[in-house]
């Protein structure tokens, strides 16, 4: 971490905040604002404090390590596409036929030697300070509380190291960890994650599960924790491949789990398989608060650290955030591996305002009828891709997938009723739109065909809104997009008093003027803000219940409750505290205007 900060400082991209700021709301709010800028800085808070007790933490806080594409490239050491090319060359390695090819092949094979971790018998840099027994106090770490309605303080960038019951498999995961006492944490490993699978083994055996949590060190360690590797592959091996040198690991003090020798802080303990506590709520990367659920309790035995450690944390919420740049690296690096499942895949992209698992755009080379839908099913059956809710496929001649206006127009020019495939599968445990937890609708769209004819004749927004309001009084506002395309989009704001399906039925009589109608709640949405509308719509739809492909095509992205047959608790949006934002503005620590706050829906009501 020290080397990384020095490098960023040399690039003029390290912003040091020396003013004392509270770990509750103030530090994370400032980081939340900064990472949304077009060119954000890495932040170093040198004087974190506990506003309630006045305690001054001796450990500085680092945030926004992945501060943009350029700084993320610094962390990877090269462009992610270059790493992907190295992986691709290994996957397609052929017997060499010339001396040059033999030398090249030997070089690639020798590089694989760096993948395997090396274990040192010496103490690690992360073990210069050892705190045990009654001296353990997690409240002496500058753990942050990000949102006003969070259930407490959460470690948000903890590298969670675990091993299988028989010790043959190791795992590195990135899970949020709620601090509930001076020596207890709650482990939010979701049911689909590898660490949860290990936990099941210990639970069946009636044994306590050892866990070591590392914080800081090389930011690449943290990125490896979220890498979507297959079950049983130790994520730290990916670190060795990218760095081109063997990861150096050191044994934890109280268990047999090995962690990187140069991380900043290590929290060691064990999880009792029979002890659970309510965890949350927490404003997560979906931009919503996840509800309170029971999760396992970890009893902390020991905390070790460097003599002068850094506490690294990330902030999650509404996009764009640091995970935009972490996800960019993941997306590019794992393209060759995804192609092994779908060989005719050319490229893919997961927009950050689709919260990654909510929306994927894919460019393919279709070879036969139904090929796109075949690949959709392949995606929904592969690892973390199985969480993807909405997948849109285009042909090789489509614009770049990151050209959002261009790719949107391309898709709209090719949609017809049989373009849509609605299926069912697992969804992320954080997903709130499914009508039952863990299982929900999937929407696949095949836009690989030829352009279709334009049959809809849209009218101006004012005229259409008047007609819509005459049909149903719940309709309050309207904004149309791409009205010159064969499939224009009408975003309709409603003050909902009944199921949206009933409104949709009334609009079918306007099939000559409407094609795609997207319903959102009037409250909390700006119909002139397509970036945040994509975030809202992809979050709020369960394709099995909320998508209707009939005379017109309807998408219900409103909040659901009992009148919709939805019996779960619909979560609240995350918003920054107005008072904290105003204070940070007054102190000159935030330099964005009200338009910026409104654009990203940072403060409620603005």
Catalytic residues: 284
Bridge partners of 215?
265
Structure tokens at 368: 């036969």
**Residue 457: how many other CB atoms lie within 10 Å:** 9
Q: Could you give the CA distance from residue 96 to residue 74 in angstroms, rounded to a whole number? A: 33
Q: Which long-range contacts (C-beta less than 8 Å, at least 24 apart) are formed by 342-349? A: 342/375, 342/378, 342/379, 344/371, 344/375, 345/375, 346/396, 347/401, 348/401, 349/401, 349/402
Are 25 and 597 in contact by the 8 Å Cβ rule? The answer is no
Strand-strand pairing, 516-521 and 489-494? parallel
Q: For the residues of 407-428, what is the DSSP string, one character each?
A: HHHHHHTT--GGGEEEEEEE--
Q: Could you give the CA distance from residue 43 to residue 14 in angstroms, rounded to a whole number? A: 6
Are 175 and 195 in contact by the 8 Å Cβ rule? The answer is yes
Q: For the residues of 191-207, what is the DSSP string, one character each?
A: TTSHHHHHHHHHHHHT-
Structure tokens at 133: 């027994």
Q: Could you give the CA distance from residue 93 to residue 452 in angstroms, rounded to a whole number? A: 42
Q: How far apart are the first and last CA of the chain?
A: 37
- Find, among 373, 303, 329, 83, the residue nearest to 222 by Cα: 329
In residues, how long is the chain? 606
Q: Could you give the CA distance from residue 71 to residue 130 in angstroms, rounded to a whole number? A: 33
């Amino acid at each position: 971490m020290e080397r990384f900060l020095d490098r960023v400082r040399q690039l003029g991209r390290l912003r040091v905040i020396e003013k004392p700021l509270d770990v509750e709301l103030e530090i994370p709010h400032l980081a939340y604002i900064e990472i949304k800028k077009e060119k954000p800085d890495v932040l170093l808070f040198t004087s974190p404090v506990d506003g309630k007790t006045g305690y001054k933490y001796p450990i500085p806080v680092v945030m926004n390590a992945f501060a943009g594409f350029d700084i993320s490239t610094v962390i990877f050491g090269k462009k992610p596409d270059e790493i992907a090319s190295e992986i691709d060359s290994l996957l397609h390695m052929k017997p060499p036929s010339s001396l040059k090819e033999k030398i090249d092949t030997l070089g690639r094979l020798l590089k694989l030697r760096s993948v395997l971790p090396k274990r040192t018998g010496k103490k690690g840099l992360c073990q210069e300070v050892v705190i045990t027994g009654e001296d353990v106090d997690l409240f002496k770490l500058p753990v942050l509380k990000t949102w006003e309605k969070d259930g407490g303080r959460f470690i948000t960038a903890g590298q969670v190291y675990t091993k299988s019951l028989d010790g043959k498999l190791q795992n590195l995961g990135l899970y949020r960890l709620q601090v509930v006492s001076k020596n207890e944490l709650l482990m939010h490993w979701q049911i689909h994650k590898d660490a949860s699978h290990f936990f099941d083994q210990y639970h069946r055996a009636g044994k306590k599960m050892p866990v070591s949590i590392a914080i800081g060190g090389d930011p690449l360690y943290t990125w490896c924790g979220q890498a979507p590797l297959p079950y049983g592959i130790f994520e730290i091996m990916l670190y060795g491949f990218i760095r081109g040198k063997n990861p150096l690991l050191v044994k934890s003090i109280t268990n047999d789990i090995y962690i990187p020798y140069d991380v900043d802080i290590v929290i060691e303990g064990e999880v009792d398989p029979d002890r659970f506590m309510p965890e949350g709520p927490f404003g997560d990367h979906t931009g919503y608060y996840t509800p309170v659920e029971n999760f396992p309790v970890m009893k902390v035995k020991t905390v070790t650290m460097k003599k002068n450690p850094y506490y690294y944390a990330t902030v999650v919420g509404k996009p764009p955030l640091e995970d935009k740049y972490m996800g960019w690296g993941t997306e590019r690096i794992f393209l060759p591996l995804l192609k092994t499942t779908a060989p005719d895949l050319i490229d893919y992209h997961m927009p950050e305002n689709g919260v990654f698992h909510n929306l994927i755009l894919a460019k393919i080379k279709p070879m036969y009828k139904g090929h796109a839908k075949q690949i959709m099913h392949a995606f929904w059956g592969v690892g973390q891709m199985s969480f993807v809710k909405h997948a849109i496929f285009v042909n090789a001649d489509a614009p770049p997938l990151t050209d959002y206006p261009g790719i949107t127009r391309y898709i709209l020019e090719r949609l017809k009723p049989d373009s849509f495939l609605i299926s069912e599968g697992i969804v992320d445990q954080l997903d709130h739109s499914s009508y039952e937890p863990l299982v929900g609708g999937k929407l696949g769209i095949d836009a690989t065909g030829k352009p279709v004819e334009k049959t809809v004749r849209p009218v101006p927004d004012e005229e259409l809104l008047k007609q819509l309001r005459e049909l149903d009084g719940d309709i309050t506002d309207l904004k149309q997009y791409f009205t010159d395309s064969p499939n224009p989009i009408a975003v309709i704001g409603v003050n909902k008093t009944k199921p949206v399906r009933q409104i949709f039925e009334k609009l079918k009589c306007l099939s000559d003027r409407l094609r795609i109608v997207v319903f959102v709640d009037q409250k909390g949405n700006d119909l002139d803000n397509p970036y945040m509308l994509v975030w809202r719509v992809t979050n709020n739809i369960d394709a099995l219940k909320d998508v209707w492909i009939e005379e017109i095509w309807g998408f219900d992205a409103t909040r659901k409750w009992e009148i919709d047959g939805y019996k779960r608790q619909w979560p609240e949006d995350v918003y920054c505290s107005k008072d904290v934002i105003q204070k940070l503005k007054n102190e000159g620590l935030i330099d964005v205007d009200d338009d910026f706050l409104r654009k990203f829906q940072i403060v409620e009501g603005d």
